[in-house]
C-alpha cells in the first residue's frame, strides 16, 4: 500500500487554495474522463486517481489528516488513538464526491492507501455537491489570408471538425491575430458548455508594401533630375495611384507621409493608417559623351 502524493496527482503544490484545487481537479478530470478516452484503461485508472485526490484535498478534514501524517499514514491511527479510525469509516454526507453521476469503472473505487487512511469508500464515486459538468475541449485552427483579403471586410467559410463555420472577417485583421468563436469547440461533457474555437490568422504579403500596425511603408524611385529640379510624379498606394509634388533638391532617403493611405483600422469603419514613402534617387546610366561633358561642366561650377 504505497503512499500516494495527491498534490502531484492534481499538479499543484501543498499551499494550493480551495480554488486552485477545484481548478486543477476539473482540468485533470476532463482530460482523463472516460467520455473523452473511451476504452482507455490507463486513462480510466488516472481518472480514478484524480477523483481520489480530489476527494481528500477538497475535504478540509481529510486534507488536514493527510497533510499531518503524509508518509507516516500507517501510524495515523496510533497517533489519533483507537477511536479515530473507526470514526472515519463512513463517508460524511457533506463530503464532495467525484461528481460523475455515480459511475463506477470496475474494481475498487478507492486505493488501498485511501481505505487504510480514511476508511470505507462508501460505494464508489457518486454525485456530490460539486458540479459534474465540464466544458468541452477548445479547438485551434489557422486561416491564411492574402494582404489584399485582409484589406477589406469579407466573408469566408472555415471547415472545422466537419462543421462549416461562416466568418465575417473585418478589414484590418493582423498577422498572428487570434479571434475566439464561442461554442464552436468540442461538445461539453455531461451537459457542460461546448468548448470554443480559436482562429489564428496568417497574412501573406507579396506586395512591395511593408505593414506595421495600421501604417504601410514602401520605397519609391525618383530620377536625379526630378530630385534636383522638383516636379510631379505618380505614386502607387495600396488601393490606387496619387500625384505627388516633389520639392527641388530632394535628398535620397527623404520620407513622405500620406495621411489615410495606409491599412484599415480593425473594426473601425472608415479609419486608416498612413502610407510612408521613402525616396530612392536613381542615377542615370549609359551616359552619352555630351551628357558626360555637361556633368563635368556642372562639377566645375560646384
| Same domain? 179 vs 162 | yes
Residue 125 lies in a domain: no
| Same domain? 196 vs 271 | no
What range defines the domain where residue 147 resides?
A: 139-204
Which has the higher per-residue pLDDT, 210 or 118? Answer: 210
Residue 126 lies in a domain: no
**Average pLDDT in the 103-123 region?**
55
| Same domain? 196 vs 253 | no
> For position 81, what pLDDT does the model report?
52
Alpha helices in 58-198 (DSSP H): 60-69, 76-80, 82-87, 112-118, 147-151
* Res. 71 pLDDT band, cuts 50 70 90: low
Q: What is the pLDDT of residues 6-63, one digit of tens each?
A: 899 999 999 999 999 999 998 988 888 888 888 888 888 888 888 888 988 988 888 8
| Same domain? 25 vs 71 | yes
| Same domain? 225 vs 288 | yes
> For position 126, what pLDDT does the model report?
41
- Give the CA count within 13 Å in the CB-facing half-sphere of 243: 3
> For position 94, what pLDDT does the model report?
33
Pick the last residue of a domain from 150, 181, 204.
204
Which has the higher per-residue pLDDT, 287 or 1? Answer: 287
Instruction: Kindly report the CATH number assigned to the domain that includes residue 162.
Output: 2.60.260.20
**pLDDT more than 90, % of the chain:** 49
* C-alpha angle 61-99-128 in degrees, rounded to nearest 5: 55
> For position 268, what pLDDT does the model report?
94
Instruction: Kindly report the CATH number assigned to the domain that includes residue 45.
Output: 1.10.287.110
Residue 134 lies in a domain: no
* Res. 67 pLDDT band, cuts 50 70 90: confident
3-state secondary structure 173-185: CCCCCEEEECCCC
Amino acid at each position: 500500500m504505497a503512499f500516494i502524493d495527491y498534490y502531484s496527482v492534481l499538479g499543484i503544490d501543498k499551499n494550493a487554495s480551495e480554488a486552485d484545487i477545484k481548478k486543477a481537479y476539473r482540468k485533470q478530470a476532463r482530460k482523463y474522463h472516460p467520455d473523452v478516452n473511451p476504452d482507455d484503461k490507463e486513462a480510466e485508472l488516472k481518472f480514478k486517481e484524480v477523483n481520489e485526490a480530489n476527494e481528500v484535498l477538497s475535504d478540509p478534514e481529510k486534507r488536514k489528516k493527510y497533510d499531518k501524517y503524509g508518509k507516516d499514514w500507517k501510524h495515523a491511527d496510533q497517533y489519533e488513538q483507537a477511536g479515530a479510525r473507526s470514526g472515519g469509516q463512513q463517508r460524511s454526507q457533506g463530503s464532495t464526491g467525484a461528481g460523475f453521476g455515480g459511475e463506477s469503472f470496475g474494481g475498487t473505487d478507492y486505493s488501498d492507501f485511501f481505505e487504510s487512511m480514511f476508511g470505507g469508500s462508501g460505494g464508489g464515486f457518486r454525485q456530490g455537491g460539486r458540479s459534474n459538468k465540464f466544458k468541452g475541449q477548445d479547438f485551434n485552427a489557422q486561416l491564411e489570408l492574402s494582404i489584399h483579403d485582409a484589406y477589406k471586410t469579407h466573408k469566408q467559410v472555415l471547415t472545422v471538425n466537419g462543421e462549416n463555420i461562416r466568418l465575417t472577417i473585418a478589414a484590418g485583421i493582423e498577422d498572428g491575430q487570434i479571434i475566439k468563436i464561442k461554442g464552436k469547440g468540442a461538445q461539453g461533457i455531461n451537459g457542460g458548455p461546448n468548448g470554443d474555437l480559436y482562429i489564428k490568422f496568417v497574412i501573406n504579403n507579396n506586395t512591395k508594401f511593408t505593414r506595421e500596425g495600421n501604417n504601410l511603408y514602401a520605397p519609391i524611385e525618383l530620377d536625379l533630375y526630378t530630385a534636383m529640379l522638383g516636379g510631379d510624379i505618380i505614386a502607387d498606394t495600396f488601393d490606387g495611384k496619387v500625384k505627388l509634388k516633389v520639392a527641388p533638391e530632394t535628398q535620397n532617403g527623404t520620407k513622405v507621409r500620406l495621411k489615410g493611405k495606409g491599412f484599415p483600422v480593425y473594426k473601425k469603419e472608415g479609419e486608416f493608417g498612413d502610407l510612408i514613402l521613402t525616396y530612392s534617387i536613381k542615377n542615370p546610366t549609359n551616359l552619352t559623351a555630351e551628357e558626360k561633358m555637361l556633368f563635368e561642366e556642372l562639377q566645375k561650377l560646384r
